[in-house]
């Protein structure tokens, strides 16, 4: 069962995201990696996580895949916030730039995503991963296809 079926297929994207925030609903990977949606508004979202040694790579820092997942969530959810009931999306491309290493000592991090432009079939987004002081650890741009049922 996916979140859309669990929460309600009749909801618009922003309604679905707000229901996820209110009840702390997360898709499976969000539960596994302990990434939660903190806020959602039209065209903009914020996710939060506190990565620890469970998501480290062999070098002793947070694995790039964890960072990529947070940024992909941020880009996708930003698009979802603009969709009507019955629409969905899929990522076409995700480009990530890693600015600095993240460790457990970095503390809570936020992935902030926003829609740059959205047409009927394709949307373009940007996201950044920051710490509590606003220091940037990674950034991304993404192209997403908008699908209708």
Question: Could you read off the pLDDT tens digit of each residue along the chain, which spans 149 residues?
Answer: 465 556 767 899 999 999 999 999 999 999 999 999 999 999 999 999 999 999 999 999 999 999 999 999 999 999 999 999 999 999 999 999 999 999 999 999 999 999 999 999 999 999 999 999 999 999 999 999 999 87
Q: Alpha helix (H) ranges present in the chain?
A: 3-7, 13-23, 28-33, 64-80
Structure tokens belonging to residue 94: 């995700």
Entry pTM: 0.93
Whole-angstrom distance, CA of residue 102 vs CA of residue 40: 25
């Amino acid at each position: 069962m996916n979140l859309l079926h669990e929460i309600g297929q009749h909801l618009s994207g922003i309604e679905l995201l707000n229901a996820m925030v209110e009840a702390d609903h997360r898709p499976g990977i969000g539960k596994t990696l302990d990434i939660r949606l903190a806020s959602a508004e039209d065209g903009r979202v914020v996710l939060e996580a506190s990565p620890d040694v469970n998501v480290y790579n062999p070098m002793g820092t947070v694995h790039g895949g964890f960072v990529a997942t947070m940024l992909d969530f941020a880009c996708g959810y930003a698009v979802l916030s603009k969709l009507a009931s019955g629409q969905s999306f899929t990522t076409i491309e995700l480009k990530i730039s890693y600015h600095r290493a993240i460790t457990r000592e970095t503390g809570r991090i936020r992935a902030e995503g926003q829609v740059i432009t959205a047409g009927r079939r394709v949307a373009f987004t940007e996201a950044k991963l920051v710490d509590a002081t606003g220091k940037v650890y990674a950034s991304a741009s993404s192209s997403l296809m908008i699908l209708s049922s």
